[in-house]
A and B are shown apart, each in its own frame.
Chain A
Amino acid sequence: MEVKDPVLDIQDVSIKFGDFKAIKDVSTSVGKNEIRFFIGPNGAGKTTILDAICGKNKVSDGHIIFHSDKDGDKDVTKMREYKISDLGIGRKFQAPSVFGGITIEENIELAVARKHSIYCTTFLKLSKEKKDYMNYVLEFIGLQDKRFKYPGSLSHGEKQWLEIGMLMAAKPQLMLLDEPVAGMGRKETEKTAELLKKIKKDCSIIVVEHDMQFAKDVSDTVTVFHEGQVLDEGTMESVQRNQKVIDVYLGRG
């Protein structure tokens, strides 16, 4: 599938764990302001690919090119995770992982500050602009009233939003979300869908998700993975008609 103006190009990527090839020659491109869903059965390699993009997994073969607005084209396969984050790729993990020892506001604050050196975190204060944006994010995710509380007091859904808020605060060009609505009720899921549609105006999003209704509502395009390979790619409607996809994944439901 041709993508105009891509943010991310995954080129012939393979990932091995020991002798086990988890990902085999996967290629795809994600466009600007696109919400891409990675779907497929368990063990198809969706999370593994996300891990590779954000620097958690090593890539055995191939390249992942990120087209950064400020730094030009970069191959992220050999970069350390904090550098990748600085380039403009944000990652949310499956289990909500926020920092329990600092307040909700401080969680956002750590994300909104884009200068990460020890000198900056010691001596510089946040600019007015950043503070305003922090307030905006808090309001956006609906946690402005709880900003001085600790994350331990939040519900599961709120924690997920806080984490999405932390991603937003960093103003990434690309967000990687691993099962953002897992464990959420229908209402919370709908709210998350709204959030993502708003966020999409400023960045591209890759979502790994099993909730097909959610995928239908939110996705622009989907990539179907199966046993470490791309099975099909296109809009939700088109992949739903693909017989192979129905056989290995959708058909069972």
Chain B
Amino acid sequence: MELFLMQLFNGISVSSILLLAALGLAITFGLMGVINMAHGEFIMIGAYTAYVVQNFFKKYLPASVFDSYCIVAILLSFLVAGFCGLILEKLIIRKLYGRAADSLLVTWGISLILQQGARSIFGSPNVGVEAPSFLENSLKISGMLALPYKRLFILLIAVICLLGVYALMFKTRQGRNIRAVMQNRNMAASLGVNTSRVDASTFAIGSGLAGLAGCALTWIGAIGPTLGTNYIVDTFMTVVVGGAGSIIGSVFGAGFIGVGETAFEFMTTASMGKVLIFVCVIILLQFRPKGIFAVHTRSLED
């Protein structure tokens, strides 16, 4: 029983990172019809931002305030990744609206450039980031069952972000505009919604969330230039399962992939786990080819 709960917790922990990464991807896909393969590289950018912040604190500030680096790292990883996303959107993504396959390829090219950039700046070997000391311990529930604070903290960040995105989408004018553009771009534009501003800001927020995911990842493992590639497939699968543009879909997808993969890997091997979750996704899509929470349309070719 404890083992089961531990696995469940691990699964949820994986899910929380997937959710952070997938939220932005799902919204931008639903909003602009753009698939961003460089999304994984925003995870990497966030991770390296945290790494740089940590180094700065180590080098220039007294050891007593070191733990507070994590607050700075969280904020900066969001801002830096978001800013990079904004630039990318302004320069390239906006030329690709509605051309999903093309956007996929172009952003792949960009991800190659970004990866090589990271390699040039930080070197190929993985680097580690020290977690703040207050995250080092675990919450002991019982003899066997101990929940690491790091993972609990990441879960907390994910929940806060989810609530934040939810509030943004459904409680603010910005969110209303995003939803309007998602449903009918031309109509929204003719009603006076500045669609290009909506697109750019949404893309930036999505990228920022990926950066946050990267920051969170630094506490549970080493990071390297190819960090993004390791997560991008799972992130995409999350979006595919959940359905483009749906927040609740992303939550479901992240839970499905994260918990499912952990469970399968626990029962079989790491590689078989991946095969089994893939089979499950294919089976799910047999019934809902556009994801569980996809929106219906009446157009002929979609």
What is the chain B residue whose CB lies nearest that of A94?
Answer: B300
Is B300 touching A17 in the complex (CB atoms < 8 A)?
no
B296 cross-chain contacts in A, Cβ below 8 A: 17
- Interface bits B277-302 vs A (CB < 8 Å: 1, else 0): 00000000000000000001000110
A17 cross-chain contacts in B, Cβ below 8 A: 296
What is the chain A residue whose CB lies nearest that of B301?
Answer: A97
What is the chain B residue whose CB lies nearest that of A47?
Answer: B298
A95 to B301, CA, bound (A): 11
A93 cross-chain contacts in B, Cβ below 8 A: 300
* Residues of chain B from 101 to 141 with CB closer than 8 A to chain A in the complex: none
Question: A157 to chain B: closest CB distance in Å?
Answer: 20
B300 cross-chain contacts in A, Cβ below 8 A: 93, 95, 97
A17 to B296, CA, bound (A): 9
B301 cross-chain contacts in A, Cβ below 8 A: 97
Question: A95 to chain B: closest CB distance in Å?
Answer: 7
A97 to B302, CA, bound (A): 13
What is the chain A residue whose CB lies nearest that of B296?
Answer: A17
A97 to B300, CA, bound (A): 9
A93 to B300, CA, bound (A): 8
Main secondary structure of the interface of A (DSSP, over half): loop
A195 to B301, CA, bound (A): 27
A97 cross-chain contacts in B, Cβ below 8 A: 300-301
* Residues of chain A from 157 to 173 with CB closer than 8 A to chain B in the complex: none
Question: B57 to chain A: closest CB distance in Å?
Answer: 53
A17 to B300, CA, bound (A): 16
Question: A91 to chain B: closest CB distance in Å?
Answer: 10
Question: A80 to chain B: closest CB distance in Å?
Answer: 15
A97 to B301, CA, bound (A): 9
A125 to B301, CA, bound (A): 30
A93 to B296, CA, bound (A): 18
A95 to B300, CA, bound (A): 9
Question: B234 to chain A: closest CB distance in Å?
Answer: 30
- Interface bits B142-186 vs A (CB < 8 Å: 1, else 0): 000000000000000000000000000000000000000000000
A173 to B79, CA, bound (A): 63
- Interface bits B240-266 vs A (CB < 8 Å: 1, else 0): 000000000000000000000000000
Question: B79 to chain A: closest CB distance in Å?
Answer: 41
A184 to B137, CA, bound (A): 73
A95 to B298, CA, bound (A): 12
- Interface bits A93-107 vs B (CB < 8 Å: 1, else 0): 101010000000000
- Interface bits A62-94 vs B (CB < 8 Å: 1, else 0): 000000000000000000000000000000010
- Interface bits A1-23 vs B (CB < 8 Å: 1, else 0): 00000000000000001000000
What is the chain B residue whose CB lies nearest that of A97?
Answer: B300
Question: A212 to chain B: closest CB distance in Å?
Answer: 24
- Interface bits A25-43 vs B (CB < 8 Å: 1, else 0): 0000000000000000000
Question: B69 to chain A: closest CB distance in Å?
Answer: 50
Question: B101 to chain A: closest CB distance in Å?
Answer: 15
Question: A50 to chain B: closest CB distance in Å?
Answer: 12
Question: B184 to chain A: closest CB distance in Å?
Answer: 15
A53 to B34, CA, bound (A): 34
- Interface bits A153-189 vs B (CB < 8 Å: 1, else 0): 0000000000000000000000000000000000000
What is the chain A residue whose CB lies nearest that of B300?
Answer: A93
A95 cross-chain contacts in B, Cβ below 8 A: 300
What is the chain B residue whose CB lies nearest that of A18?
Answer: B296
A97 to B296, CA, bound (A): 20
Question: A105 to chain B: closest CB distance in Å?
Answer: 23
A17 to B295, CA, bound (A): 12
What is the chain A residue whose CB lies nearest that of B299?
Answer: A95
Question: A139 to chain B: closest CB distance in Å?
Answer: 28
What is the chain B residue whose CB lies nearest that of A17?
Answer: B296
Question: B129 to chain A: closest CB distance in Å?
Answer: 47
A93 to B301, CA, bound (A): 11
- Interface bits B9-34 vs A (CB < 8 Å: 1, else 0): 00000000000000000000000000
Question: A178 to chain B: closest CB distance in Å?
Answer: 10
* Residues of chain A from 89 to 140 with CB closer than 8 A to chain B in the complex: 93, 95, 97
What is the chain B residue whose CB lies nearest that of A178?
Answer: B300
Query: Residues of A at under 8 Å CB distance from B?
Result: 17, 93, 95, 97
Query: Which 5 residue pairs across A and B have the least CB separation, nearest first?
Result: A93-B300, A97-B300, A17-B296, A95-B300, A97-B301
- 5 contacting pairs across A/B (C-beta < 8 A): A17-B296, A93-B300, A95-B300, A97-B300, A97-B301
